[in-house]
């Protein structure tokens, strides 16, 4: 989160609306986990790619895979609901003509004739969520909202960002698999102005709060379940990245799903060239911390781990909503995030992180980052010999 006064109102609203979204997600996840007896039914993509299955409740069978056809849409009710809620609150606060939103979910599936049930569920969830808004100190539209208003709110999030102007960037729920497993997920809202991320808020309802340190311009605070005085920013405490500069002592944070990461650079670096292996190099001390979602970045920002590297498989283009809020928080907490070539991520070129060199390297500080980039180069060059 940037604390620049220029964005004080935006940050205030972003924190509050992400709180509301967390509250919605917690209700849904608790029900999900209790219905399926603990979330342990979900198989990973590694086990059964691409169409592994998960039982969400006694009556619903869920298929999750890489293609949208195999997703069970019910699981996206919360995503659409959060997207609608954020869109409505931002429009109400700043005026819809001033609000441009880039967000993950589209409205097509929901608008189809056979999606009446889904749409009804979204309308119900949004109205329930909005009813809580005053407790979070947020202004809401008058009266209960109907389907057309909610569809409109979701479809308004159709901006594709770009190099000029202000654009909100939203991932309503990041880490879908973590969510259905009853595990880690995140709600991510950022503001980009003229191509730069100027504030980011990450809601991580299942991430434990423990560290008592910090001095940066990033904060973490416990989730507050809407009461008259939302204790933001009073109950927030500043966070700071780990001071570690030695790769041999650093802990790496990894995705849970190996299918989401390259394994290209990873396996190349493990070939017989005797090359420095960037991955083993920086994970000698402990086992990697494997968590779903942008919580990986949050873990660096608050000093729990030191390194996160993501080298997506070739052909996969990273979307800005999967990184914007988290990158801002790491940087404000003293960390560094670049591509594998050492250049800053470019949020100014639309929906995707265009021009990304191989992948993303996030570290707790510049000194460690420099060493990791050098290690990645060494692995890369050796593997291309």
Ligand X SMILES: Nc1ncnc2c1ncn2[C@@H]1O[C@H](COP(=O)(O)OS(=O)(=O)O)[C@@H](OP(=O)(O)O)[C@H]1O
Contacting positions for Mg ion (CB under 5 A): 104, 171, 173-174, 322
- Asked whether position 171 contacts ligand X by CB under 6 A, the answer is yes
Question: What is the nearest approach in angstroms of ligand X to the Cβ of residue 217?
Answer: 25
- Asked whether position 304 contacts ligand X by CB under 6 A, the answer is no
Return the residue of 26, 74, 176, 348 that touches ligand X, per CB under 6 A. Answer: 176
Query: Which residue in 79, 183, 277, 322 is the catalytic one?
Result: 79
* Contact of 21 with 172, CB cutoff 8 Å: yes
Q: Considering only the stretches 34-42, 48-56, 174-182, 374-382, report the one whose residues sit in contact with ligand X under the rule CB under 6 A.
A: 174-182
> Known catalytic residue: 272?
no
Query: Cα–Cα distances in Å, from 166 out to 10, 160, 169?
Result: 11, 11, 10
In angstroms, the CA 252 to CA 279 distance is: 8
- CB proximity list for 139: less than 8 A, separation 6 or greater: 89, 92, 93, 133
Supply φ then ψ for residue 188, to 5 degrees. Answer: -125, 125
Q: How far is CA 149 from the centre of its chain?
A: 26
Return the residue of 10, 304, 322, 331 that touches ligand X, per CB under 6 A. Answer: 322
Return the residue of 16, 292, 369, 371 that touches ligand X, per CB under 6 A. Answer: 292
| Segment 97 to 116, residues that bind ligand X, using CB under 6 A | 104
Looking at the Cβ atoms of 173 and 309, the one nearer to Mg ion is 173
- Asked whether position 149 contacts ligand X by CB under 6 A, the answer is no
Looking at the Cβ atoms of 153 and 368, the one nearer to Mg ion is 153
- Asked whether position 174 contacts ligand X by CB under 6 A, the answer is yes
Extended beta strands in the chain, E state: 52-55, 61-64, 101-103, 166-174, 186-193, 196-203, 218-220, 237-239, 252-254, 289-290, 307-310, 336-339, 360-363
Return the residue of 74, 260, 280, 383 that touches ligand X, per CB under 6 A. Answer: 260
Query: Which residue in 35, 106, 147, 176 is the catalytic one?
Result: 176
Question: What is the nearest approach in angstroms of ligand X to the Cβ of residue 5?
Answer: 31
Question: What is the nearest approach in angstroms of ligand X to the Cβ of residue 291?
Answer: 6
In angstroms, the CA 2 to CA 325 distance is: 10
Q: Considering only the stretches 30-38, 117-125, 252-260, 332-340, report the one whose residues sit in contact with ligand X under the rule CB under 6 A.
A: 252-260
- Asked whether position 317 contacts ligand X by CB under 6 A, the answer is no
Looking at the Cβ atoms of 136 and 279, the one nearer to ligand X is 279
Supply φ then ψ for residue 174, to 5 degrees. Answer: -110, 130
Return the residue of 39, 182, 216, 255 that touches ligand X, per CB under 6 A. Answer: 255
In angstroms, the CA 131 to CA 346 distance is: 37
Burial class, 229, CB count within 10 angstroms (exposed 0-12 / middle 13-18 / buried 19+): exposed
In angstroms, the CA 294 to CA 340 distance is: 18
The site map against ligand X for 61-100 (x = CB under 6 A) is ----------------------------------------
Question: What is the nearest approach in angstroms of ligand X to the Cβ of residue 295?
Answer: 8
Question: What is the nearest approach in angstroms of ligand X to the Cβ of residue 114?
Answer: 23
In angstroms, the CA 16 to CA 28 distance is: 19
In angstroms, the CA 44 to CA 39 distance is: 12
Question: What is the nearest approach in angstroms of ligand X to the Cβ of residue 118?
Answer: 18
In angstroms, the CA 52 to CA 71 distance is: 10
- Asked whether position 205 contacts ligand X by CB under 6 A, the answer is no
The residue nearest ligand X at its CB is 257
Looking at the Cβ atoms of 123 and 353, the one nearer to ligand X is 353
Q: What is the dihedral of CA 118, 185, 14, 335, to 10 degrees?
A: -150
Task: Return the number of other C-beta atoms located less than 10 Å from residue 147's C-beta.
Answer: 14
> Known catalytic residue: 147?
no
Q: How does 332-368 read in b/e, with b if 16+ C-beta sit within 10 Å?
A: bbbbbbbbbebeebbbbebbbbeebebbbbbbbbeeb
Return the residue of 204, 220, 250, 256 that touches ligand X, per CB under 6 A. Answer: 256
Question: What is the nearest approach in angstroms of Mg ion to the Cβ of residue 27?
Answer: 18
Could you tell me what percentage of the chain is helix, strand and coil, using 3-state DSSP and rounding each to the nearest 5? 40, 15, 45
| Interface ranges with ligand X (CB under 6 A) | 104, 171, 174-178, 255-257, 260, 292-293, 312-313, 316, 322
Residues marked as catalytic: 79, 176
């Amino acid at each position: 989160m940037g604390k620049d006064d220029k964005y004080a109102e935006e940050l205030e609203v972003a924190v509050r609306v992400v709180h509301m979204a967390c509250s919605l997600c917690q209700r849904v996840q608790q029900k999900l986990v209790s219905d399926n007896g603990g979330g342990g039914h979900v198989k990973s993509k590694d086990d059964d790619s691409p169409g592994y299955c998960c039982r969400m409740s006694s009556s619903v069978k869920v298929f999750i895979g890489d293609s949208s056809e195999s997703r069970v849409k019910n699981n996206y009710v919360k995503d659409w609901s959060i997207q609608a809620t954020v869109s409505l609150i931002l429009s109400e606060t700043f005026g819809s003509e001033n609000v441009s939103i880039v967000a993950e979910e589209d409205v097509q599936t929901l608008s189809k004739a056979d999606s009446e049930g889904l749409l009804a569920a979204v309308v119900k969830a949004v109205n329930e969520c909005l009813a809580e808004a005053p407790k979070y100190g947020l202004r809401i539209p008058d009266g209960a909202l109907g389907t057309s208003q909610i569809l409109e709110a979701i479809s308004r999030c159709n901006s594709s960002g770009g190099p000029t102007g202000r654009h909100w960037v939203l991932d309503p729920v990041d880490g879908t698999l973590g969510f259905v497993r009853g595990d880690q997920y995140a709600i991510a809202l950022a503001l980009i102005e003229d191509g730069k991320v100027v504030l980011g808020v990450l809601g991580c309802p299942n991430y434990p709060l423990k560290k008592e340190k910090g001095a940066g311009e990033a904060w973490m605070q416990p989730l507050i379940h809407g009461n008259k005085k939302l204790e933001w920013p009073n109950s927030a405490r500043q966070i700071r990245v780990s001071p570690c500069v030695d790769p041999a002592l650093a802990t790496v944070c990894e995705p849970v799903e190996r299918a989401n990461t390259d394994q290209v650079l990873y396996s190349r670096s493990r070939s017989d060239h005797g090359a420095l292996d960037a991955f083993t190099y920086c994970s000698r001390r402990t086992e990697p911390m494997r968590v779903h979602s942008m919580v990986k970045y949050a873990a660096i920002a608050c000093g729990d781990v030191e390194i996160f590297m993501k080298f997506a498989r070739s052909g996969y283009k990273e979307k800005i909503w999967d990184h914007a809020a988290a990158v801002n928080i790491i940087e404000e907490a003293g960390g560094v995030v670049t591509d594998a070539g050492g250049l800053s991520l470019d949020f100014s070129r639309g929906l995707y992180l265009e021009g990304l060199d191989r992948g993303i390297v996030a570290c707790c500080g510049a000194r460690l980052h420099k060493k990791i980039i050098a290690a990645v180069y060494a692995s890369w060059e050796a593997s291309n010999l």
